[in-house]
């Protein structure tokens, strides 16, 4: 079971990711180290990574930081099925490589990504259960699966006597798909903690980017999946709500809205300033009336490419 006391996590997509996020140019390992230490100082110790982030560099950096602190972290990484992964041994080799990069003998949470090729739901559940039985993994989570896949995986995993601890999935004010496609209700029914990926919609909800100052390169393309005709109205409303709550900014309001939904936001972090702002999330709450206003403003948003 995912620890109920955790109300905020840290996403590490940007750690070591040069092409998409500009690691080594816009920020570096020193910046990440300062952010990491600040999170621990503020009581945030859940970190989520993936072997796909920075071609494994995210795991390596997190492992290096973890080795330098006496604090006990809760670390999750992912198993990402590849078309050439055909056997149980392919799963185990991928897991062992992640453990090596992280400098761990045992992983707190292994999150299984959607199946591809011969890595079916049933086979993935078998492999995950074996990893637990071998003492390589403490708990099993999921990442990016739809309601049918979650239900099927849960049924397969339960045959071994294990349950799903958590689900990582995109969720933010501009992407509320899981409220409509059954994922959120199913997770609540199965006591699966939902972790919000991209809680700031690739940065759109920070107010940093707009038509006059768009993001560049691949990041700009990813932002195009979010669509809201009057994003400026939403941002002004969020900033106003922030002012009513001690001078918080739109990003902090966006994270707080997610927390209000009983979901754990895991914002990405590149700098100390971001860590300071994000870590405040569990310490305050927007009001029910403010939550309802944001619900109304974003109730008709849609994600391009989805029904």
Q: What are phi and psi of 86, to 5 degrees?
A: -110, -25
In the block, which residue shows the tokens 């637990």?
132
Name the β-bridge partners of 265: 196
Phi/psi zone of residue 299: left (φ > 0), alpha (ψ -120 to 50 degrees), beta? alpha
E-strand stretches of the chain: 10-11, 46-48, 74-79, 107-112, 137-143, 164-170, 193-197, 226-227, 264-265, 302-303
Strands 46-48 and 10-11: parallel
Residue 28: the pLDDT is: 96
Q: For 6-53, what is each residue's pLDDT tens digit?
A: 999 999 999 999 888 889 998 999 999 999 999 999 999 999 999 999
The dihedral through the CA atoms of 139, 143, 149, 150 has a sign that is positive
Over residues 98-119, the mean pLDDT reads 95
**3 state DSSP class of 102:** helix
If one counts the domains in the chain, the total is: 1
Report yes or no: 97 and 129 within 8 Å, Cβ to Cβ: no
pLDDT tier at 300, thresholds 50, 70, 90: low
Residue 154: the pLDDT is: 98
- Looking at the chain, the whole-number percentage of residues with pLDDT higher than 70 is 91
Distance CA 66, CA 91 (A): 24
Tokens of 94: 């991928």
Distance CA 153, CA 267 (A): 26
Q: Which helix (H) or strand (E) holds 156?
A: helix 147-158
Length of the chain: 307
**Domain presence at residue 130:** yes
**Domain presence at residue 107:** yes
**Domain presence at residue 1:** no
Task: Provide the CATH number for the domain around residue 187.
Answer: 3.20.20.100
**Domain presence at residue 167:** yes
Sheet order of strands, 193-197 included: 10-11, 46-48, 74-79, 107-112, 137-143, 164-170, 193-197, 264-265
Residue 213: the pLDDT is: 43
**Domain presence at residue 156:** yes
SS3 per residue for 29-43: HHHHHHHHHHHHHCC
Task: State the average pLDDT for the chain.
Answer: 91
Distance CA 135, CA 106 (A): 7
**Domain presence at residue 2:** no
Q: For 173-188, what is each residue's pLDDT tens digit?
A: 999 999 999 999 999 9
Tokens of 24: 């080594």
- Domain residue limits at 256: 10-303
**Domain presence at residue 5:** no
**Domain presence at residue 4:** no
Q: For 64-74, what is each residue's pLDDT tens digit?
A: 999 999 999 99
């Amino acid at each position: 079971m995912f620890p109920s006391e955790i109300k905020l996590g840290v996403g590490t997509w940007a750690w070591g990711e040069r092409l998409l996020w500009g690691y080594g140019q816009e920020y570096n390992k020193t910046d990440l180290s300062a952010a990491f230490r600040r999170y621990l100082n503020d009581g945030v110790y859940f970190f989520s990574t993936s072997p796909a982030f920075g071609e494994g560099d995210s795991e390596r950096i997190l492992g290096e930081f973890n080795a330098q602190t006496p604090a006990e972290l809760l670390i999750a990484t992912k198993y990402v099925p590849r078309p050439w992964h055909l056997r149980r041994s392919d799963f185990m080799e991928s897991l062992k490589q992640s453990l090596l990069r992280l400098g761990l003998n045992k992983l707190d949470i292994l999150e299984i990504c959607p199946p591809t090729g011969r890595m079916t739901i049933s086979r993935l559940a078998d492999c995950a259960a074996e990893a637990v039985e071998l003492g390589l993994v403490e708990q099993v989570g999921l990442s990016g699966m739809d309601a049918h896949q979650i239900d099927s995986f849960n049924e397969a995993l339960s045959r071994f006597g294990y349950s799903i601890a958590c689900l990582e999935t995109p969720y933010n004010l501009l992407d509320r798909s899981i409220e409509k496609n059954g994922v959120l209700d199913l997770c609540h029914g199965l006591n699966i903690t939902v972790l919000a990926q991209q809680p700031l919609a690739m940065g759109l909800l920070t107010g940093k980017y707009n038509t006059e100052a768009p993001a560049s390169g691949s990041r700009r393309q990813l932002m195009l999946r979010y669509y809201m005709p009057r994003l400026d109205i939403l941002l002004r409303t969020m900033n106003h709500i922030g002012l009513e709550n001690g001078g918080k900014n739109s990003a902090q309001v966006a994270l707080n809205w997610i927390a209000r939904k009983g979901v754990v936001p895991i914002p990405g972090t590149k700098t100390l300033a971001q860590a300071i702002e994000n870590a405040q999330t569990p310490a305050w709450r927007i009001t029910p009336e403010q939550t309802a206003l944001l619900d109304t403003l974003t109730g008709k948003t849609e994600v391009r490419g989805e029904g």
